[in-house]
Structure formats: structure tokens, C-alpha cells
Structure 1
């Protein structure tokens, strides 16, 4: 299946294109700006564009007003169709962000609300997923955009939606990949009950940056054991950054460990994504306040040539590591075993059948020789790959 080869470049269109912070009456054709970045995503090594909210909303996109209409700040349906055509012509898949747990207060069907604000946000009202009309509406939205060429959906706040709901609404008439945003809980059970193809792997995300900051690879080892178990049920959607969390370059206490985090991401099983800007070492701190996401959702220049020069070495690092992934596509379902472990050094072997990739990570301030056959010395705060082929 095509999702086994997917590597997503995720972007948040409203921020990326510099759209106004709240709804506007007139259509502004900003979606065409994204076409300038399609070749950039391909050169990075990605095979799909994972878009944040693009439907008509009051402010940040997660307060939807109309799921059948492109947000006027971004353009119209013709702009969307053109973007899909341009992406597909290059072999890029398109994924949309489906916000079906909650809507804006001005959503035209207040009789569908289940009462109360979503997670205390007074502008977000939760939908009643036991209402057949809600199920019909969500199914109709999915089919409408699937018919316009959508290849995948990220289902926002899926953790707040009864898993059984998805089984009643997901169209299965096309080869569309559905994954849910699940932050905590039993990932495998949610997939089995919901019929989703995947969910977001937040546990691994946290273990990657936390183990590097604390120089405690035992945390990563534990998380990888749990990650392997998930692969018995489904292939998780993996990441080290997205539109909802502090930028990786800001989160890491030592910038030399950026490569370590990326190397882990691209050798463990899963369907990985790169959040736009992380490949340029963008920085940004998420804060729990009004406007607290602005720093992690900035506007981009009109085309890649206008990016600052300092970020391109990180772009090339991504290319190198994504290249490893693409040369070994079986890694999507690989299990990862820990072959050597200390607080500051770890050897990870990801294998599938007779093929394997061995990743050696050293986050100490001294060179490290791993007690494994034919392994080289890894320099202080360095990393190395070995492969079976």
C-alpha cells in the first residue's frame, strides 16, 4: 500500500501563508503560494503534503464554520483543486486535517452540540457523536473532499471522539488513509475499536527529546519496547515535531542532538512526518495562552530561495536521513531492538526479515566504542549508521 512509503511534510496553511488571524469577508487566494513549495518538499524526500485546517473558520482553523468551503483567507475550491492537481502531478499525496470533534460557536447547527466547551475553550463547542445527523454530516464531508482527490485525513482530537463513531462514518470506497490524533491512552485498542489505519505516536515523540535532554537512553529503550508492541496492531504515525508542540530545535537543550532525534525518527517503524520549518532548524516556543501557538506557526516566504541561509545545513541533514529511509522502505514495519545501552550511549537495530539498520548514538562528551562486533568508535555527541546492504 502507498502509506507504507509515505513521508509527510506537514504545514499549517493559515500561518504558512500569513493569513489574517480571523475570518475575512472577501476571498484571498493564498493557497497557490503552496505550489511554490511542492518541489522543495520533494527534494527534501517527502512524498505527501499534510495540511492543517483549510475549511472556513472563525480564527485558527480548528473553530470550523463550514466543512464544505475553503477558508476565504486561503482561497476557494478552484484553488484547492489546482493544488491537488499540481501535487498529484509530482507524485505528492494530499492529506487534510479533519476537525470533527468540535466546531465554532457560530456553526449553523447548534442542535448538534453535546453541551460544554471543548477542553475549556469557550470558542469551541463539542459535537454530539451519538446524533445520527452528525455522523451523516461527517461522512458526507469526507466523501466530498475524497472525491476532489484527497488521499488521507488527520482526524483532529480523535482521543475525545468515541472510537466506534469512526467505524460508522469513514468512507472505504477509495484507497484513503485515516489516522487520528491520540495523545494518550491505549493506542492499539483505539485503532482496533475505531477502524482507523493509524494514530499519532506522542509517547515516542516525548521519549526521543526527553531522553536526549536528560541523557537517559533508558527512557527511549522503554518507549521503543512499547512502540514495537504497537506494530503488532498498526503502523503508528511518527514525528519529532508538529503544529501543536514546541519546535524541536527549541525543545532540545543541546543543539548537537538534533541529528540524534532525527536519526531515531527515520530508523524506527512508523509513517513519519516533518513539520515545515523543522527541516530549517526553525525555533519556536508553544505557550498556553491566547496566541501561544503563533511562534510555532509562522509565515513562510513566498518561495524557498528566500529562506535564511543558516537553515540549509539542517535541510541537508534531513535529506541524508530521509534518504536512508527511502533506500530501506521496509523500515516502516521494522521492529527495533536495543543492543547496547547506557545513559549516554545506545545501539538500535531496526530489522525486517534479513535486512537491518544499526544506529549508534553517543550523547556523552567523550568518544565511545560500542562493545559490538565490527562497530566503529563514535565521537563525542556523534552518531553512525551501519546497514546490512
Structure 2
């Protein structure tokens, strides 16, 4: 006897309502053991994790017997509780026999606040500002960090250590806001609705994750007014702008820490009386301090410091509020799971107070509902914290599926996320195939992994060719189709749509190849972007899995009378999918359609490593 015979938490016949529930919900549970099991009573035990693991027992009396199956039913009122509930069942027979099931997870979230839906509906485009587009070759003289600038846009980024054995990331290409503005019409044509920028504030390194001045746009990008102009131009084209909030650490070279003395201000490591000294956590002042993952150039901040909290989100003119006022529409929080929950809640409250339509997206690499950081279960998506998270579990599932995995495993992984996440978080996820922190998706799909077995010089010079390139492009087309059809915002890392390649940083951060794009891939992404923009079923519709068998994956998205079917074949041989009683019209891809002989339906045949979207009737 298996649990699935008796209880399936994803089936409304066993648990109602589905998945995560808002506080105040009464949840109904039904156990359905075979009559032959001889069970006479059941009970549910619910453990309220964030209420000191308090337990509540609910009797599940016998209520009915149908077709040889008993039914035991009861309800759990979650009351005002917010957090995770771990529940399990016991069935007992008169002869002393027992069956134990569970534990299962129930996520209970705050349901009072209306979460803006715009982010999850449309396509997002991630821009690494230094490498997207430049309007001129900048002069680095006098800028923080002792920078150099590549004169040739097609240069290879510096990846070898310097004479001191360090990779300092001080080589810039000079991408700027004027360059981005010049490409906004191109991005609109691609279907982009949200521009997500990696950090834009003044910083010594080209990635700008070691913020030097939160009040100032990095001069290579432009000035503060240029940022507002960029936002105005984006808004005029129906796009929104999301910024990267790096609030867990600053730069060693910064106005606040001032490790190299570049700034005239008295930094934390220069004077015990510095107004910024309490922002940092010194083990031995001034030369030993906490830093992000032990990287000395990124000193960690003390997020409990009142002055730092006021500066970031507490004051009327705080960082969070000021840049929303300047034109931004939301924040993505870097290393959100390394920020205290009440700090994230403060950012969220400040963002909503400044701009009610603003959203906050958190960087979390795992299932955000069960994430534990520093020994604490995080509240990321329980309401009032993050409106959505970066969906790295989806990326992992897609990579596995298109690299020889099974569709059944993809469904299991993604249904776990859908079950555990509140609907607002599931539909506001930042879904991507790659980011600035991962190798390029085309490279992974063609090279068969990150190839850490090879030298760094080998990885720097590696390019796909021949059959490997052809197969990688076929897989990328299918993976992108799945991405654009899945709930949450399909997020494209700049250049993936153009066929950019590269393993780890900095090879995944090369300049965008203007004029040298892969036209076939670019055209495909434009088609997917238009599809996402034009069909409500893809923007906000329900999801229902139709098939998952080996290389074949199919799911339907439906909304307001419209139903679209996304079908993918990750294998090396054709696959077929019969759809009795249905008609289908292809919207993307080139499936072969044939009538079913025994039914007024249709059979879909997909070539190897391909995908299609069809309008169903």
C-alpha cells in the first residue's frame, strides 16, 4: 500500500484548497484507504513550525465508503498563523494495525496584500550594464578603482590573475545608458516589458557589486539625470525598470569603508569615529572584518545598525525610495537569503510606500518556501517580504530535462514549487535559463556541462561548432519555448537570444555582439516574445500537465476561454502526442498534425529536440 493510494496532497479530492493557503483558511483533508485495509479511524497531526513546533491533532472520522474505498475526513483551521505547517496522518484498525503517512508541507502566507502582477506577466531582459552597448569610448581618468577601458568592443575580458595573483575586475568596456536608450526600440521589438539591470551605482569593479556610492550612478554609465531619462524612455515604450539592490555588503573601495582612501570622507577603516564605522563588523579594527564569502574587497555590513537601515530603506529619502522616485519600478535583492527577514520586510514596505506598484524580487537559489539561512527558516514568500524569487529550481529542471533527463522529473520538481509557493510568488517568479552567475545556456547545452576538467585558457577559447553547435541551438530553441510558456516572467540574459557563448565569469559577461548576432535564434526569441505578449493564457493562465513521459513534455495554459498547449521533445527521436476530441493550430514551432482515425481529434508529432505551441479548440 502506497501513500498515493491513500492521500495525494496535489489532488483536490484529498486536500482542498490546493497548495499554499492564506492565513484564516480552513483546509479539508480526506484519506482514501482501500476497504480491505480494515481501518476504523484516522487522525491528522499538524506541527506549527514557527509557533515553537506546537502540535495540533485533528480527528479524521470515517464518513463514507465507495467502490471498495473508505473515506476519512476532517478539517484544519490554520487561524492567524503564518509559516510552515508539517502535517502527517495515522490510520488505525480495530485489530491494532496502523498506517502512517507524511510528513507533508503546508505553506501558510499573509493574504491581505494585493501583489502587483505586472512583473510575472511579461518578458524581462537582464542587462549587465558595462557589456550591453556603449555610445562612446569613455575616459577612465579620475574614476574610482584605477580602471582600464578596452578600446575594442570585441576584446576578451581579462580573466588571468595580475602580478599580485588577483583578478580585480577593473577592466571595463564602457557600456552606458545612452547605449541602452539607443537599443530600446530593438528591445521592444524583442518583446521586452521589464529591463532588469545588474548594479548601476558607482563602484570600482566592472560588475559593480561592491557599491562605492549608493547616491550616484557610475559615471561611465552616465549621470543621475541620464538614469531618469532612461526610465522615461522605457516607460514611453511600455517597459518597466528593475534595479539590483546590493545591500548585504559594500565595496572595500567605497565612500563608506574607504579602504584605499580614494574618497575624502572619513571611512569606517580610517577612524573609529567615522559615521560609517558601525555599519561594518570588525573582528579587529581596522584590518580584520567580516566580508561576503571571505572576499576582502566586499566588506559585509551590519544590517541591524539603525543608521544603515535608515539609509537603505527607513528614511523618506532612503536609497530604496529615492531611486524609485527617480524612475525605477522595482528592486531585485542580491543574496536575499543573507539579509535578515525584517530588513527585507523594511525594503518591501519602503518600496510600496513610495510606489504602490513596485515589486521586490529576491535572489534565492533553492525552494524559497523551505530556505534556511544562518539557522533560520526564511520568510521570503510568506507576504510582506519578496513578491517573487529568482527561479533557479526551474533552470535546473530545464537543464536536466534537455540534457537527457525525464519529463516526469521536470513535472515533479515544478509541481513541488507550485504546491509550496503562494500563487503570487509562483506567478511572479524570475524565470531564466542563465544569468551573470551561470555559464551561458548555449554553451552548457552544447558542451555537456561546465567543463571544469579543462584549463581556464581552454574554457576561454572554447566555441561550439559543427554538430555540437547545431544540437545546442535546437535544445536552446526548445528550452526557450518552455521558458516563455511557463508561469512567471521569462527572463533573458542579454545576448542569449543572439547566440552568445561562454563558461563562467567573465566568459559569460562578454560584450553583446552587435552586428554579429545569430539571426535564426534572434528571430525565434522575437517570435516567443510576441507570443508571450499577445496571449493572456501565457501571461496569467492556469497550468495543467497533459503528458510527461521520458523525452515528451506537454502542458496547457488556460485563461478566459483561451487554451494554449506547450509541447517539447528533448529526445533524439520523434515523439507523438494524441489529443482526442481536440483541434490544434500551431502558433510556434513546426509540429506535424494528423487526424486521429478513431476520434475527431488530432495527433501531434514533434521532431527530435524541438518544441511547439498550439492553440487548442
Query: Normalization by structure 1: what TM-score?
Result: 0.89
* 1:37 counterpart residue number: 183
Alignment partner, residue 297 of structure 1:
509
Q: How far apart in 2 are the matches of 1:262 and 1:227?
A: 20
Assess if the C-alpha contact under 8 Å between 2:494 and 2:512 holds in 1.
no
What does residue 308 of structure 2 align with? 134
- Asked if 1:145 is matched to 2:323, the reply is yes
1:343 aligns with 2:550: yes
Q: CA offsets, 1:173-226, max 9 Å, x none?
A: 312111111112434741216522111111001110121112422221112212
Counterparts of 1:12-161 in structure 2 under 5 Å? 12-17=128-133, 25-26=142-143, 30-59=176-205, 60-107=207-254, 108=256, 109-114=276-281, 115-139=289-313, 140-161=318-339
Distance 1:58 1:313 in 2: 37
Counterparts of 2:481 and 2:319, CA distance in 1: 37
Moved more, 75-84 or 143-152: 75-84
Bigger mean CA offset, 21-30 vs 151-160: 21-30
Q: CA deviation at 1:42?
A: 0.2
Q: Is the 8 A contact 1:45 1:322 kept in 2?
A: yes
Distance of 1:193 and 1:126 partners within structure 2: 27
Q: Are the counterparts in 1 of residues 133 and 175 from structure 2 also a CA contact under 8 Å?
A: no
1:258 and 2:488 are equivalent in the alignment: no
What is the CA distance between 1:283 and its match in structure 2? 0.6
Distance 2:521 2:175 in 1: 31
- Give the direction of change, closer, same or farther, for the CA distance of 1:319–1:135 in structure 2 (3 Å limit): same
1:198 aligns with: 388
SS at match of 1:191: coil
Where 1:123 maps in the other structure, the secondary structure is coil
Please identify which structure carries the higher strand content.
2
Aligned to 1:290: none
For residue 163 of structure 1, report the CA deviation from its aligned partner: 2.1
Root-mean-square deviation (Å)? 2.5
How far apart are the structure 2 equivalents of 1:249 and 1:29? 23
Larger Rg: 2
Q: Describe how 1:166-245 pairs up with structure 2 within 5 A.
A: 166-170=344-348, 171=350, 172-173=352-353, 174=355, 175-187=357-369, 189-192=379-382, 195-229=385-419, 230-234=421-425, 235=427, 236-245=429-438
8 Å contact kept, 2:545–2:554: yes
TM-score, normalization by structure 2: 0.58
1:85–1:12 distance in 2 versus 1, CA, 3 Å: same
Give the match for residue 267 of structure 1.
Answer: 485
2:217, 2:223 within 8 Å by CA — same for their partners in 1?
A: yes
8 Å CA contact retained: 2:251, 2:299 = yes
CA distance in 2, matches of 1:298, 1:29: 11
Tell me the residue number matched to 1:328.
Answer: 535
Match status 1:375 vs 2:593: no
Do 1:238 and 1:270's aligned partners in 2 also have CA atoms closer than 8 Å? Answer: yes
Distance in 2 (alpha carbons) for counterparts of 1:97 and 1:169: 13
- In 2, the alpha carbon distance for the partners of 1:16 and 1:112 equals 33
Whether the aligned pair in 2 keeps the contact of 1:8 and 1:272 (CA below 8 Å) is: yes
Q: Is the 8 A contact 2:279 2:301 kept in 1?
A: yes
Deviation at 1:44, TM superposition (A): 0.3
Deviation at 1:321, TM superposition (A): 1.6
Structure with greater proportional helix content: 1
1:318, distance to aligned residue in structure 2 (A): 0.8
Q: Show the counterpart of 1:279.
A: 497
Partner secondary structure for residue 380 of structure 2: helix
Aligned residue pairs, count: 378
User: C-alpha displacement at 1:157, in angstroms?
Assistant: 0.9
Structure 1 117/194 Cα, relative in aligned 2: closer, same or farther at 3 Å? farther
User: In the aligned structure 2, how far is the partner of 1:195 from the partner of 1:221?
Assistant: 27
